[in-house]
């Protein structure tokens, strides 16, 4: 039975990750929503449940069913109330479609048991055995109808039902599951702060467990990555107007975290946010919508056309002769011809071509030394004019003695 993800706590003054050993770092704790939205509903539900329990205890104490004493009857009423409340708490986590499917299946099962009992009444079976078999058939048919109806509830035709579940379907489509890789990457926090994420951001419990294992690793690099992931989670938690929830669903028969994430996305009809290439391919083949952070980053890179002028900082030499390599702020590589001697300098280049690769964009440009020299001369003339001094003209022929 599907369960709604639990909300992640929001605190206005949550401390950062302490500089403590990895073994002492803790996962974000799953608590309730803020007091402003949930205190009233919590106390209301508590009062209703207490009243229901009191009524059950009073009924048992007064009627004394099965010839029990008043104390035993009151205790039985209390146990009955507790069982009903636990069933109600569990039932609240089920989706509306599964509830409709379970109710329909149980009704059909009861109807089938009633028809079977009618057949048994026309037999020569003794009354005691007939009553026993009728009860057994009733329990079996009701149980099978309930379980099968609940499991097949997600297959209900929403359009045939007149959009009865339209609101729930829209709510489910707003669920977005976070992968471990995208949490460690950290850019998802910037995307969320820019308010490009809507709906509920769901963090599966098994993803938190994997992140905790990475943070507790003996490898310093893995430990640093785990600490970064925990910091990103706390940063996401503090973002206002973002619904962050924890999904406690787990799949014990599946060992791989990526496959668990895919099954959870199927259960909640959710999208997966990741930057893992393999998870992207596997989930896409199974019909799950993927939001790839790397694809978003490539789409947001500035558009550069051949012939435009760019100012770049030459960082190192290229593979080919007389080439220099620069990088833009977003990590785009710029390969510049005739710029090998301009390493560790900022120069203006002319874009010659732009190539799209699987790793992103690559920009090729050319450094024109003559144009740069002319630009330097014009700048020097401008500075001389501003200072009020005039540079002496350069002679056409060398002066004697030079």
Give the model confidence (pLDDT) of 174-224 as tens digits: 789 999 889 999 889 989 888 888 888 889 988 998 888 999 989 988 899
Coil vs helix vs strand at 72: helix
pLDDT of res. 25 = 37
Residue 296 vs residues 95, 185, 207, 300: alpha-carbon distances, Å? 32, 14, 22, 6
Residue 345 vs residues 269, 310, 377: alpha-carbon distances, Å? 52, 14, 18
Q: Is 168 exposed, middle or buried (0-12, 13-18, 19+ CB in 10 A)?
A: middle
**Where do you find CATH 2.40.50 in the chain?**
309-386
pLDDT > 60? residue 161? no
Task: Give the dihedral of Cα atoms 375, 378, 384, 387; nearest 10 deg.
Answer: -80
pLDDT of res. 93 = 73
From the list 185, 298, 275, the residue with the least C-alpha distance to 236 is: 185
What HEC string does 139-205 produce? HHHHHHHHHHHHHCHHHCCCCCCCCCCHHHHHHHHCEEEECHHHHHHCHHHHHHHCCCCCCEEEEEH
Give CA–CA dist 324/366, Å, rounded.
10
pLDDT of res. 336 = 93
The stretch 42-66 carries a mean pLDDT of: 87
pLDDT of res. 154 = 62
Give CA–CA dist 113/326, Å, rounded.
78
pLDDT interval class at 38 (50, 70, 90): very low
Give CA–CA dist 296/185, Å, rounded.
14
Give the model confidence (pLDDT) of 283-332 as tens digits: 888 888 889 888 888 777 777 888 888 899 999 988 888 899 999 877 78
The stretch 246-252 carries a mean pLDDT of: 84
Q: Is 207 exposed, middle or buried (0-12, 13-18, 19+ CB in 10 A)?
A: buried
DSSP type of residue 398: P
Percent of the chain clearing pLDDT 90 (strictly above): 14
pLDDT > 50? residue 55? yes
Give the model confidence (pLDDT) of 373-383 as tens digits: 555 555 555 55
Give the model confidence (pLDDT) of 77-130 as tens digits: 899 999 998 988 887 777 777 788 888 888 999 999 899 888 888 888 888 888
Name the CATH architecture for the domain at 6-15+167-299.
3-Layer(aba) Sandwich (3.40)
Do 268 and 175 meet the contact criterion of CB atoms below 8 Å apart?
yes
Which CATH topology does 309-386 take? Answer: OB fold (Dihydrolipoamide Acetyltransferase, E2P) (2.40.50)
pLDDT interval class at 40 (50, 70, 90): very low
pLDDT > 70? residue 32? no
Coil vs helix vs strand at 255: coil
Lowest mean pLDDT: which of 61-75, 213-227, 345-359?
A: 345-359
Give CA–CA dist 101/165, Å, rounded.
12
State the residue for tokens 């048991």.
113
Lowest mean pLDDT: which of 8-22, 104-118, 135-149?
A: 8-22
The stretch 54-59 carries a mean pLDDT of: 91
From the list 303, 382, 379, the residue with the least C-alpha distance to 348 is: 379
**Where do you find CATH 3.40.50.1010 in the chain?**
6-15+167-299
């Amino acid at each position: 039975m599907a369960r709604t993800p639990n909300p992640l706590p929001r605190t206005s003054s949550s401390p950062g990750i302490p500089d403590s050993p990895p073994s002492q770092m803790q996962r974000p704790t799953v608590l309730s929503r803020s007091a402003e939205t949930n205190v009233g509903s919590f106390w209301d539900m508590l009062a209703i449940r207490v009243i229901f329990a009191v009524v059950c205890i009073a009924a048992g104490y007064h009627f004394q069913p099965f010839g029990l004493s008043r104390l035993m009857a009151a205790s039985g009423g209390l146990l009955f109330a507790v069982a009903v409340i636990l069933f109600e708490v569990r039932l609240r986590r089920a989706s509306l479609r599964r509830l409709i499917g379970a109710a329909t299946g149980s009704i059909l099962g009861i109807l089938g048991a009633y028809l079977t009992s009618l057949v048994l009444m026309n037999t020569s079976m003794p009354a005691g055995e007939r009553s026993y078999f009728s009860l057994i058939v009733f329990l079996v048919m009701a149980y099978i109808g309930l379980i099968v109806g609940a499991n097949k509830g997600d297959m209900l035709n929403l359009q045939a039902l007149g959009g009865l579940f339209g609101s729930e379907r829209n709510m489910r489509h707003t669920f977005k599951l976070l992968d471990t890789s995208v949490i460690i990457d950290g850019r998802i926090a910037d995307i969320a702060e820019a308010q490009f994420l809507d709906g509920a951001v769901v963090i599966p419990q098994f993803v938190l467990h994997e992140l905790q294992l990475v943070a507790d690793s003996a490898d310093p690099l893995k430990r640093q990555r785990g600490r970064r992931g925990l910091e990103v989670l706390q940063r996401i938690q503090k973002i206002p107007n973002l619904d962050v929830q924890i999904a406690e669903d787990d799949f014990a028969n599946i060992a791989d975290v990526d496959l668990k994430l895919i099954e959870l996305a199927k259960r909640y009809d959710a999208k997966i946010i990741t930057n893992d290439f393999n998870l992207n391919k596997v989930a896409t083949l199974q019909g799950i919508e993927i939001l790839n952070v790397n694809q978003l980053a490539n789409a947001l890179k500035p558009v550069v056309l051949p012939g435009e002028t760019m100012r770049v900082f030459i960082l190192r030499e290229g593979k080919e002769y007389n080439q220099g390599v620069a990088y833009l702020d977003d990590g785009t590589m710029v390969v510049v011809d005739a710029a090998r001697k301009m390493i560790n300098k900022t120069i203006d280049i002319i874009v010659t071509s732009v190539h799209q690769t699987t790793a992103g964009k690559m920009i090729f440009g050319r450094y024109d030394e003559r144009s740069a020299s002319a630009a330097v001369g014009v700048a020097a003339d401008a500075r001389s004019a501003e200072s009020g001094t005039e540079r002496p003209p350069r002679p056409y022929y060398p002066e004697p003695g030079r």
